[in-house]
Structure formats: C-alpha cells, structure tokens
Amino acid sequence: MSELASKATKSDADDQLASKRSQFLLDGDVYLDGNSLGALPASVPGRLEDVVRREWGELRIRSWEESGWWTAPERIGDRIAPLVGAAAGQIVVGDSTSVNVFKALVGAVRIATAERGAGRDEILVDATTFPTDGYIAESAARMTGCRLRPLAPADVPAALSHRTAAVLLNHVDYRTGRLHDLPSLTAAVHAVGAIAVWDLCHSAGALPVGLDEHGVDLAVGCTYKYLNGGPGSPAYLYVRRDLQDRFDSPLPGWNSHAEPFGMRPAYEPAPGALRGRVGTPDILSMLALEAALEVWEGVSIDTVRTKSLALTDFFLECVTEYVPEGRVESLTPVRHEERGSQVALRCEDAATVMKHLIARGVVGDFRAPDILRFGFTPLYVTYSDVERAARALAETLAP
Amino acid sequence: MSELASKATKSDADDQLASKRSQFLLDGDVYLDGNSLGALPASVPGRLEDVVRREWGELRIRSWEESGWWTAPERIGDRIAPLVGAAAGQIVVGDSTSVNVFKALVGAVRIATAERGAGRDEILVDATTFPTDGYIAESAARMTGCRLRPLAPADVPAALSHRTAAVLLNHVDYRTGRLHDLPSLTAAVHAVGAIAVWDLCHSAGALPVGLDEHGVDLAVGCTYKYLNGGPGSPAYLYVRRDLQDRFDSPLPGWNSHAEPFGMRPAYEPAPGALRGRVGTPDILSMLALEAALEVWEGVSIDTVRTKSLALTDFFLECVTEYVPEGRVESLTPVRHEERGSQVALRCEDAATVMKHLIARGVVGDFRAPDILRFGFTPLYVTYSDVERAARALAETLAP
C-alpha cells in the first residue's frame, strides 16, 4: 500500500463523520459529484413510498392538514436553518433557485428604494457566478427600473455607492470553488445602505454560512447538492426576521396570503417567512427533501467544514504526488478561507478525461471549456475515495 | 333497490370509461374531491420507486441525460397537449400555477405593447376566479406599468378596448363550477388586439379545451386535479407556436437559455416552448406526473366530457329526488355549455355537513362561507358513487 493510501486509511479510521456514510445508498463508485446532485439518503425511498401510498393514496386531500403537507415549506425551512446559521422562522422551501433569486432581488430593491429613496437604482451582480443568477438579475433590474452592473466579486466594494440598491453574490463560485468573504462583503454592502442577497447553492451543507451572525439580508439556495434533496428538489428563501414586514414579493401567490383559505379578492401578505411562499408546494419533492435532511441529525457544520478542507487538501496532495507534472492546474484557491468544498482542475481534453474517469468509477463532472470539477461531500466521501480518485486521474493522464 | 340506484347500476354497466377505474388505487369511499387532488393512479408508486432507487440512487447525475430528466418538462408538456387541444411543442411543465400565471401575463403584456404600442396599459382579470390569479395579476400589472381591472367574466366584452393589453380568465370557476365561453371570449379579446390568457386548472382533463382551435394565446394550468399528478405536482405553460418567438419571459432562468450548458454570461432565449422553462425541474414530482398521465392512453376527452355531464346531471337528479326541498341550492349552471365537472351546492352549516358526509365515506369539500363542492372525475367516479353521495347527503340533512 502506498504512503498516501495508508494515510487515507488512517484518516478514515479517525473520521468523526464516518458513520454517516452508511446513511446513504452508495455503490462501489467514488462519487465526487455531490456538488451537482447529492447521493440518495437511505431514508428517502421508504418515506416517499409512504407519502405516495398512504398520504396521497389513502388520506388524499386530508393529508394537507393531517399529514402536515400545508406547513411543509416553513417546517423544512426550519430544518435547513441551523445548517446556514439562521434562527427558526426565516426560511421557506419552495420553487426553484431561479424563482427565489427573482423574489429576493426584487424584494431587496423594493426595501432599498422604499427606505432610502428613488436614487437607489443599481443592482450589482457577481459576473462570475452561475449564469442563472445573472439572467434573473437582469430581469429583476429591468422590472424595477434599475441598472444591472455585472462585476467580479473582488470589484464589488469599489463599485458600491449611494446608488446601489441591492447586491447579489454567490457564496462559492460553481466553477472554481472559490469561497467569497461573506462577512466583509455583506458589511461593505451595508455600509452604503444597500441590501445584500447571497446565493448559497454551493456552500449550504458544506461549510458554515452564518446568515444571522453576519447580518445577511436575503439568501437563496438549492437543496439538491450538499443537502441531498434529490433531483430538482425545491430551493429555499431566507428573509431576515426584521426585514420580513418590508419584504414585498413580486410573486404574491395565494400561499403567501395572511388567510389563504379565506379566498379573499384582496391580497394581504402573511407575516413572517411565509410571505416568501407562492403557489401550492410540490409535496413529493418536498417531503423527499425532508427525509433527506434527517442525515444531519447530530452533525455539526463545523465538523463538516473541517473534514471538507481535509478532503480537498488531501486531494490536492494526492494529485501533486500522482499526476505527471504540468498535466493539470488547480483553479481552486490554496487558502482555506477562499476555498469551498470542491476542486477544479484545468486540464487539456477535460471532457474526454472525465469520461475515462467515470468509466473507472470516479464520478466528477466537466465544465466547459477545460475544467474537471470534483465535489467533496463530507457526509459520505472518504479519504480512501479521494486517494483512489487522484490515482485514477493519474492513470487516465499517464502517457 | 331504488329506481335511481338501478339506473346507476345500468349506467355503470354501459360506461365506456369503466375500465379506467381499475387504473387508480381507490378504497371504499366515494371520492368527489378530484377537482382538488386527483386520486392516486396505480402506475405511480412503482415508477417513483424506480426513479428514486435506480435513476437517482444508482445512475445519479447521469440520469439527467440517460433517464431523460433534462427533457422532461417539454416531453410531459407534449403528453398534456392533446388533452387541452394543443399540437406538440407548445407546452412545458414546471413551477406552480401562480408562477406560470406571472410568466404568461407579463409575457402577454410585453407582446401586446411591443406590437401595438404603449397605449396598451390595462390588464383585465376575472374577479370571480381563484384568488391567486388576481394577486399575481396585480403584481404583473404593477411590474409592467399597467392598470388592473377585476371584472366578472360576463362584463369582460364590454370592458375591452384599444387600451387592453391582456385578459386573464379562468375556464371554469373553482367555486361555482361555471364554465366560461372560451371561444367567444377569446375572439372578443382578439377583436381589440389584446392577448388572451386562460387558466385551465378546473377544466383540463375534464372537458375539451381546444387551445389551438380557438386561437388561445397563452394558457396555464395545474396537474393535480383532473390530471391526477399528485399533491403540488408541477403546473404547465402553453404559448401558442406563432407567439413563441415574441414570448419574453420575466423569469429567464438558465433552463430557458438557448444553450443552457454553455454557461454564457449573456442570456439568449431558447426557441419554442422551452422558453417557458425557468430553473432545474423538480424531477420526482414531475416523473410522478408523467406516470400518472399514462391513464389517458386511449381516452378521448369527448368521451370524458360526455360522462362528466352525465354524472353531474345524475347527481343533480338524485339530489332533487333525495334531499328535502329547500335544504340545498345548486350554484352550478343547469345548461351544459356553462357547466364544468363539479357541482356546488349552497347549504346551511355547509362546513359541518361536509364533515358528516366525509364521516359517511363521501368526500367532497367545503368552500367558505356556505358551499358544498363535489368534483366528478369521469375516469374513476361511477354512477353508483354519485347515487350513494346524494343519498348520504340526504341522510345527513334529514331532520
């Protein structure tokens, strides 16, 4: 056994999260694509069977009340809350990330302009982010009469001014895995009186976010990456408690009404986080997510972060040791404060290389034009997985 | 056996759709709430188990391509299309009805104003409709600089003018079951150069809609009522083929991009119906819906309509015969051209009466303040169910 393989075995033996792996249904593959679609938690299939056969099939319409369907968006929001450093009552689950970005950004502009005047006419958006945020931000800007300014996150502080209404940033860059400095960027946004909106898709469940601690105003995120909610599972919206009364949603569906079953012609928004709801929640996807969240029982997100950094450090170490020099170049920051839970390697013929890797049972993904992307989910990825992945990469790239 | 019970038995024996009932998982109850949540089709549990365990659990990320997840919204849209009289390529499934109303109405206003000038500044909306349509229409009006005019559908023709940008109407009133005249109202809207948007929640799967035939511009609908897709299953958006190039969505998420995996910073809308997509589709709910739609194999919507009218006629006949005079009053139009697939009875103490009915195994629902609502799903409701429901109602109301 190589030195690194021995080190992996030892690290696995010492891993505080090791027992969590058995709560997922895994096969012999090394799955490093949990930052795209999390693996299947063992609790999901049985729970979903019960939701379908008993709650839908037998109780039918009664389940809206008796099975707690109606309150699922806020109940599951409260379950996500501790993972992103939020107290209860500030998150609702539902809709896609894109739809939530729209709600959050329009809501943010309305708060900023209502309070601080019509001169607030700019939205700053992370130009390096996952593109949907930029597309939706463009629509939000157009529909609120704002100008959209796409910028690299590093250029945001210098661009902030009394004209800034809202700033939309991604906590971790989906491509490079770079972690942005949420506390200092949020503080900078607040210093000019603007509203900070964060996209947590690539950080929630992988590292501490500290929404409440850092005074984030609004946040959105998906649940199918590190939260393992299943393909296209519903996203969530965080609205900080003291902003909820001022949150004026552009999608005021009947689920966000103060009295949804009053069927009243005039809209009156519900108090609290419920104001972020829109239409009837997609119960099957939502309750699969709820079951998936059970794996977080007793898990500290700090422990997750410690293992995540150890995994990415170890992967980079193994790559350096195994892969012929010059064949790959890491785009992921070396400094822990700037690293999410993935490693992006620039590589010639990356698309083909990833195909070969997958054929060898190491699943990452390819991002155009030349990136091999590996995500590390601390709940089920082992150090031995990491060593095997680097070894497979080296073998794939061997001359 | 009473005369009406004998008649029911005979009608059931003659029912062309009788064999469809066995494709649902039903119990001994008479389920007349399929206009709120359709019963569970037998094909769903097994299919969903396969989606979860094999497609998600084993294939994981590969399923986006190999299991056809990525193309599900348009594939399932094409499956719904014949049920609402639409040719393929005009419907995408996804998001809630409320979100789709927003896309459709903003899109409608943009088409009308782009083509016919800025003087088009009014949105007319059905004031009697399910409230979410009115709430969302109010937001769409606010965000497009239009004035919202809520009206009874009968007053729409007189209110139409060169200022009308778009009109949102509900095909069947959720409360009374009144069917509005889609062909003539659509023609009236077109006569003033405005765009007609129809909400099909309470008609799709219960009666012919004829979207293409009647030149409807945009339409939305849910899939959990007569389409039996499951609790909160995704809604759909219809954009008529020749309007698709001009459809300018207010929610241009990455799934509606011409090249979604190009991850390009500039938004370029996809051609065709795909332009109505937004974010990552909720696969579990969506594929449950796809399985649920299998029950429509070989079913003619005209046959469904014939049986639907026969069921509601028979229910009214049984109610007249069994229920003591003066205890209930039907709000549902007598004329077939004005009737959807439900019967709404005004009744004193309706909430309590419905509780007693449910305790007797007859499930309808209560709508405030005084309405007993019974929905008739021709695929699984029998004439004997109908006779039993009216008898139970009479027994409940007996002095």
**pLDDT by 10s per residue, chain A, length 399:** 799 999 999 999 999 999 999 999 999 999 999 999 999 999 999 999 999 999 999 999 999 999 999 999 999 999 999 999 999 999 999 999 999 999 999 999 999 999 888 789 999 999 887 788 999 999 999 999 999 999 999 999 999 999 999 999 999 999 999 999 999 999 999 999 999 999 999 999 999 999 999 999 999 999 999 999 999 999 999 999 999 999 999 999 999 999 998 888 889 999 999 999 999 999 999 999 999 999 999 999 999 999 999 999 999 999 999 999 999 999 999 999 999 999 999 999 999 999 999 999 999 999 989 999 999 999 999 999 999 999 999 999 987
Q: Are B374 and B364 in contact (CB under 8 A)?
A: yes
For residue B84, tell me if it sits in a domain. Answer: yes
Residues of A with CB below 8 A from B132's CB?
A: 253-255, 279
pLDDT tens-digit map of B158-175: 999 999 999 999 999 999
User: Does the annotation count A130 as an active-site position?
Assistant: yes
pTM over 0.90, yes/no: yes
Which of A279, A296, A313 is at the close of a domain?
Answer: A296
Q: Are residues A270 and A379 in the same domain?
A: no
**What's the pLDDT score for residue A289?**
98
Question: Is residue B228's pLDDT more than 90?
Answer: yes
Which pLDDT band holds residue B116 (cuts at 50, 70, 90)? confident
Number of structural domains, chain B? 2
Q: Are residues B54 and B157 in the same domain?
A: yes
Question: Is residue B130's pLDDT more than 90?
Answer: no
Record: contact A135-B257, CB cut-off 8 A: yes
For residue B276, tell me if it sits in a domain. Answer: yes
DSSP A52: I
**What's the pLDDT score for residue B138?**
97
Q: Is B28 on the interface with A (CB under 8 A)?
A: no
For residue B31, tell me if it sits in a domain. Answer: no
Which of A296, A316, A350 is at the close of a domain?
Answer: A296
Record: contact A150-B53, CB cut-off 8 A: no
Where residue B285 sits, what CATH number does that domain have? 3.40.640.10
Residues of B with CB below 8 A from A31's CB?
A: 60
Record: contact A49-B44, CB cut-off 8 A: no
Chain A closest-CA separation from residue B3 CA (Å)? 32
Record: contact B99-A31, CB cut-off 8 A: no
Q: Are residues A343 and A282 in the same domain?
A: no
**What's the pLDDT score for residue B17?**
97
Q: Are residues B163 and B71 in the same domain?
A: yes
| Tokens 């661009």 -> residue | A159
Residue of A175, A277, A327, A373 marked active site: A373
For residue B24, tell me if it sits in a domain. Answer: no
For residue B189, tell me if it sits in a domain. Answer: yes
Q: And the tokens for B158?
A: 């007189």
Q: Are residues B76 and B56 in the same domain?
A: yes
Q: And the tokens for A259?
A: 């009295």
For residue A13, tell me if it sits in a domain. Answer: yes
Q: Are residues B98 and B109 in the same domain?
A: yes
Read off the pLDDT of each residue in B7-18 and give the average, rounded to a whole number.
98
Read off the pLDDT of each residue in B174-186 and give the average, rounded to a whole number.
96
Of A292, A315, A80, the closest CA to residue A205 belongs to A80
Q: Are A98 and B254 in contact (CB under 8 A)?
A: yes
User: Does the annotation count A175 as an active-site position?
Assistant: no
Amino acid at A371: I
Which pLDDT band holds residue B151 (cuts at 50, 70, 90)? very high
Q: Is B56 on the interface with A (CB under 8 A)?
A: yes
For residue A31, tell me if it sits in a domain. Answer: no
Q: Are residues A204 and A127 in the same domain?
A: yes
Where residue B350 sits, what CATH number does that domain have? 3.90.1150.10
Which of A278, A296, A314 is at the close of a domain?
Answer: A296
Which pLDDT band holds residue B221 (cuts at 50, 70, 90)? very high
CA distances from B58 to A15, A25, A35, B50, B323 (A): 25, 8, 16, 10, 57
Which pLDDT band holds residue B24 (cuts at 50, 70, 90)? very high
Record: contact A263-B131, CB cut-off 8 A: yes
**What's the pLDDT score for residue A115?**
86
Cα angle, residue A127 at apex, residues B71 and A242 outer, rounded to 5°: 90
Which domain covers residue B86, as residue numbers? 50-296
Quick one: closest CA in B to A259, which residue? Answer: B131
Q: Are residues B172 and B250 in the same domain?
A: yes
Q: Is A156 helix (H, G, I), strand (E, B) or coil?
A: helix
What's the mean per-residue pLDDT of chain B? 96
Of B199, B229, B37, B286, the closest CA to residue A70 belongs to B37
Q: Are residues A278 and A143 in the same domain?
A: yes
Active site (catalytic) residues of B: 130, 199, 224-225, 373
Interface test with A, best of B33, B54, B60 (most A CBs within 10 A): B60
- This model of the complex carries an ipTM of 0.97
Q: Are residues B171 and B211 in the same domain?
A: yes
**What phi and psi values does residue B147 have, to the nearest 5 degrees?**
-100, 135
Read off the pLDDT of each residue in B190-217 and give the average, rounded to a whole number.
98
Q: What CA–CA distance (Å, rounded) separates B78 from B65?
A: 19
For residue B22, tell me if it sits in a domain. Answer: no
* Full DSSP string of B161-216: -TTEEEEEEESB-TTT-BBP-HHHHHHHHHHTT-EEEEE-TTTTTTS---TTTTT-
Record: contact B283-A363, CB cut-off 8 A: no
Which pLDDT band holds residue B73 (cuts at 50, 70, 90)? very high
Q: Are residues A319 and A215 in the same domain?
A: no
Q: Are residues A195 and A341 in the same domain?
A: no
User: Does the annotation count A224 as an active-site position?
Assistant: yes
